[in-house]
Amino acid sequence: MENQGIIRNPTQEELEQIQKKKLNTNVFKEEAPKQNQQTQSTAYGSVKMKPKASAFEPDPEPYRLITTNNIIKDNLTENHEIFVRRMSGKEDAILTNFGEASGEKILEGITQIIMNCTKTEMDLRQLPLNEKIPLFIFILAISLGKNFDAAPLKDCSTCDSTTNVVISIVDDFKTKYMEPNSPDYPASIALTSYPNAKLEATLELPKLGAENTFLKQGTSLTDYLDKMIQVIKEVNGTDSNGKKVTDREIPDIITYLNGEDKEKISKILNSWTEDYGVIYKTKITTCNNPNCCMKNKEYSFDPYEIIKTYVTRVITKQKKDF
């Protein structure tokens, strides 16, 4: 989280704007309802749903949140699920643009597909960033099929052009879920940066709505503060004079954090990433090569390579169709 490059002191106006700004809205494009389309939410069991765009729109499927009910708390199933539909031609069109797009544009495209396909009535800007890629891969699975041919496996000495290693990107990968109503989320730490002050910071996972801000390569103090505001939810306590701190002082508190406090914050964020999520690793049991050197061995997959393969499949199919 260290700032790289030349920095300047932000103005008071900039500090106030940073404190108010928690979520970006520029990449979230809500689809306008058609003129003759029902505009009210409908019920799906106990969950309120967005209306179908057409009588031919398929029924959605449940996706259990990795963070269960710790961040998104309302309008979930009893199993802490939201509902998403499979992709339509509109989302296929977004995928076909990935081939020539920059990394930033691909991330925006993934976000837009998630927005389009999520049928649960909810504010997706509040979705934690660590849910994004697993949710997108789930949408790919229900849209294009769960089975994924992983051949050729990297560093495998026996894979050739006829090798098939079929795995399920939904069933063969284990997901580590956050305990519902977890006492460890959000996390609180005592700050040691300021002698005689008694300050406690509350930390949370960065949200999908702040992705551009959080992943941006910072070049100024303002950029650094903007990122930190996404994970430091609040600061409570008193300063060195015993005076209660206010929200207006949070940017200054963040600006002058010492290395020890920054390290504590980093460790907590890393622990959330490591402890909860999909483990893209499975034992190789389905290789059609009887001499497979990876047989019954654990193999780790790159989720972005899985996405790349599915995108290539869509692009190839569309080229054949047209």
* Contact status, residue 282 vs residue 298, Cβ threshold 8 Å: yes
Residue 226: what pLDDT? 86
Rounded to an integer, what distance in angstroms lies between the CA atom of residue 292 and that of residue 290?
Answer: 6
Beta bridge partners of 62: 83
Q: What is the pTM of this model?
A: 0.85
Is residue 98 very low, low, confident or very high in pLDDT (cuts 50, 70, 90)?
confident
Q: Give percent of the chain above pLDDT 90.
A: 61
Mean pLDDT confidence for 106-123: 95
* Average pLDDT of the chain, as a whole number: 86
Highest mean pLDDT among 6-20, 141-155, 221-235, 262-276: 262-276
Residue 10: what pLDDT? 56
* Contact status, residue 60 vs residue 83, Cβ threshold 8 Å: yes
Mean pLDDT confidence for 9-38: 53
Q: Is the pLDDT of residue 83 over 50?
A: yes
Mean pLDDT confidence for 221-225: 83
Angle at 229 between CA 227 and CA 231, to 5 degrees: 85
Mean pLDDT confidence for 169-192: 95
Residue 313: what pLDDT? 75
Rounded to an integer, what distance in angstroms lies between the CA atom of residue 182 and that of residue 176?
Answer: 14
Rounded to an integer, what distance in angstroms lies between the CA atom of residue 250 and that of residue 237?
Answer: 11
Instruction: Tokens for 153, please give them.
Output: 């496996």
Mean pLDDT confidence for 210-231: 83
Q: Is the pLDDT of residue 126 over 80?
A: yes
Residue indicated by tokens 């769960």: 146
Q: Between the CA atoms of 137, 141, 146 and 148, what dihedral angle is there, to the nearest 10 degrees?
A: -50
